Amino acid sequence: MSKGEETRQFIIERAAPIFNIKGIEATAMSDIMEATKLSKGSLYVHFKDKEQLAQAVVSYNLQLLGKKVSEAIGRARTAKEKLFAFMDVLTDVMNPPVTGGCPMINFGTEADDTNPAVNQQIHQSIEYTQKLISTIIRDGIKSGEFKPDWDYKEFATIMFAAIEGGVVISRVAGNNAKVRIVTNFLKKLINEQER
């Protein structure tokens, strides 16, 4: 990695939690200057504008989230354990896998009406995540772990939406109580699909 690439990555890593906590609109380049100790001119050498930096930061946060999810499900052996691990890594709102909370929620809520490029990034991430859940369930059906008539694509959408909604209401409440209700219910539904 060249010195320029190292500096660019350093800026992204320092900016990532700021954007994820404050949002794209509320984050100023002066916030990034303070976090990186770089001048505005130095920032603009690596990013033509705040929008380009925001897109890089969103990608970084989504990759970080994906890595944490992959590590969690990678430690599980069965499809059921993978689904449970997926839920558990995403639903500890007091200790989120990415500083500032779920970037799909944070950036998706902000970008849906204001930032088509970021909205597209979030949409792709949501689609990928739902496909991941579907694949885990499908593999569990193929291995005989789950009932063969389970509509896994539908459940993947429900599971994802329920988790994300549970995360939001728990973050607002400042504790994990509400999201635990959601995950306990989802786990009960998964248990009912075991053969």
Mean pLDDT of 176-191: 97
pLDDT of residue 69: 96
Q: If you count DSSP H runs as helices and E runs as strands, how many of each does the chain have, helices first?
A: 9, 0
- The arithmetic mean of pLDDT across residues 78-89, rounded, is 97
Whole-structure pTM over 0.85, yes or no?
yes
The pLDDT value recorded for residue 13 is 97
Q: What is the pLDDT of residue 125?
A: 96
Residue 112 has pLDDT above 90, yes or no: no
Position 73 scores a pLDDT of 97
Handedness of CA 91, 93, 97, 98 (dihedral sign): positive
pLDDT tens, position by position, 14-53: 999 999 999 999 999 999 999 999 999 999 999 999 999 9
The residues spanned by each domain of the chain are: 3-192
Residue 113: CA count within 13 A, CB half-sphere:
2
Average pLDDT in the 126-150 region?
97
Q: 189 falls in which pLDDT band (50, 70, 90)?
A: very high
Task: Categorize the per-residue pLDDT at 154 as very low, low, confident or very high, splitting at 50, 70 and 90.
Answer: very high
CATH dotted code for 3-192: 1.10.357.10
pLDDT at 66 over 90: yes
State the Cα–Cα distance between residues 137 and 156, nearest whole angstrom: 8
pLDDT score for 113? 85
**Model pLDDT for residues 97-106, shown as the tens digit of each residue:** 999 999 999 9
Residue 4 pLDDT:
86
Torsion of CA 29, 31, 90, 181, to 10 degrees: -120
For residue 1, is pLDDT > 90?
Answer: no
Q: What is the pLDDT of residue 70?
A: 97
